[in-house]
Amino acid sequence: METVKLLKSGEFLVAETSPDDVFIPEEFNDEQRMIAQTCQDFLEAEVYPNMADLEKGDRELMKRILKKSGELGMMGISIPEEFGGFGQSFVSQMLVAETTGAGYSFSVAYMAHCGIGTLPIMYYGNKDQRERYVTKLATGELIGSYCLTEPGAGSDANSGKTNAKLSEDGKYYILNGQKMWITNAGFADTQVVFAKIDNDRVMSAFIVERNFTGVVVGNDEHKMGIRGSSTAQIYYNDVKVPVENLLGKRGEGFRIALSILHMGRLKLGANVVGAAKKAVTDSVKYANERKQFGVLISSFGAIKHKLASQVIRLFASESAVYRVSRDIDGMMETLKADCGDTGRASIEAISHYAVEAAILKVFGSEMLDFVADEAVQIHGGMGYSAEMDVERGYRDSRINRIFEGTNEINRLLVVDTAMKRAMKGEFDLFGKAEALFNDLDKITGGESSGESYFIEKSRYIQNFKKVIMICIHGAVKQFAKNLINEQEVLNNIADMMMETYVSESLLLRVTKLENLKEIKPVYRDILDVNVYDTAEIVRKSACDAIYSFASPETTTSLIKAIEALTTVRGVNVKDARRRIADKLIEDNRYGF
């Protein structure tokens, strides 16, 4: 891998990144494109023709399709070759997650198996556990699941009541408790189960087999969406789990759970990109077929506005997904050289980018909700019919804002984690923020005559970062340790951070495309509208925060500074969106 400059998680707030240091989707190599095509072909051949039956809750059908994907090698993408996989890069793993994201309920079952059902054992298991389980999970011989949530423990995962006690002979842990919302529960062979040993304060993790005596799987839940995935409660009644099935160390379960959630958030960020591409393609194809008032609806300005808005949010989200994926690959290589364990290096690298993982999860899931909603609207009455894929996509989309930690929890994590990293001295956030806050009267937008297109856009992004830092300093100064209880203000800051990271990722992508001579006018159109819209979001969020924490004496100067830092050159968004939509309409599919 070529050497790239790696930023620490959250460091984007105070640093500038070169386009040369990011990966963009246009750089996929032939092998990666072949892998993605294999996954796409699988969806076309095995998944889409069976969606109606899968949505009726046919557990055995889903299991058969999952096993077919394993036989094809799709389940071993993340697994090292020594354990039966293909040892692909994290960028490649995210490409597979994206492609399969267009698979509706199959995507949920597949990603649950390949991710949270398999990787805790790969990352935290010992050699024996990896050989016994991972080698079979990598091929689909076994199907995996992950059992964390309990009826009384959702976002507060460590408050679970499931308990394990060592047997008198010391050979088993006796497991008792209940788990709920377990994906693949109806047919999974293995379960990664979290429980507290005796009166431990934190959880431990165990590998439990479905056929262990005392494991009872309930009926599938009736859900709004993802109806083809098996989701059920699992009960543990004096289940004897061999001591050698303790995963990691005693009391390490909470760390395992958090680390796997970071991984799940990243993969979800890629998943929703694939689902959104399917919805956009469905939208434009319908718009190019449906006539009203004697003309195709794709010729109407209002429809073009919707199509372009879908594309802009999707293209920007995709840019962020592969930016952080490259960072994780780089961090994996660094950590692997230090510890020599591929599994541990992988999860430590993933966990390191916790801020960006939460950003991808929240921004991506809300992007998909927007795209899916507009897809239904573009279809009109037919969009509400179960005959159309967009109806299923709309229902399936909604769970993503709840999966892998609710978006409310993740918004708080975006800010809290970045601030904690800065407090540890990983990057200078607070010093720069204080300097900006103390010189509010000197702040300007920084415009200079004759600056180039990309210099201008970069200046806007850096100004947005200054707004964020000013708000962080002002909020900390006002609320101190009580800031954690001011969730509305934290949400304002999180929204600014997410929009700015994604806009910067988009800027870096478009800049790199032009450097590579991949010049298409619509790329600048996408960037123009995105930055224009982001400026408004940053301004509104910053003002909301300021009026929540600022004293009357400082409010005027703060608002003046924010106005200066969020002023961007006006854009003819109507014409820009029309050009974006026209390319989509011409291609009759998402192909940006």
Q: Name the residues annotated as catalytic.
A: 404
Rg (CA), the chain: 24
Chain centroid to Cα 502, Å, comes to 12
Whether 357 and 262 have beta carbons less than 8 Å apart is answered as yes
List of residues 6+ apart from 285 with CB closer than 8 A: 588, 589
Whether 265 and 111 have beta carbons less than 8 Å apart is answered as no
The C-alpha atoms of residue 338 and residue 349 are separated, in whole angstroms, by 12
Whether 257 and 84 have beta carbons less than 8 Å apart is answered as no
Whether 479 and 549 have beta carbons less than 8 Å apart is answered as yes
Question: Among residues 328, 340, 107, 79, which one has the least CA distance to residue 225?
Answer: 107
Query: In the Cβ-directed half-sphere of 555, how many Cα atoms lie within 13 Å?
Result: 10
> Tokens 């806009």, residue?
503
The C-alpha atoms of residue 191 and residue 424 are separated, in whole angstroms, by 36
Where does residue 472 rank: exposed (0-12), middle (13-18), buried (19+ CB within 10 A)? buried
Whether 321 and 590 have beta carbons less than 8 Å apart is answered as no
Chain centroid to Cα 81, Å, comes to 26
Whether 559 and 571 have beta carbons less than 8 Å apart is answered as no
Whether 534 and 499 have beta carbons less than 8 Å apart is answered as yes
3-class DSSP state of 486: coil
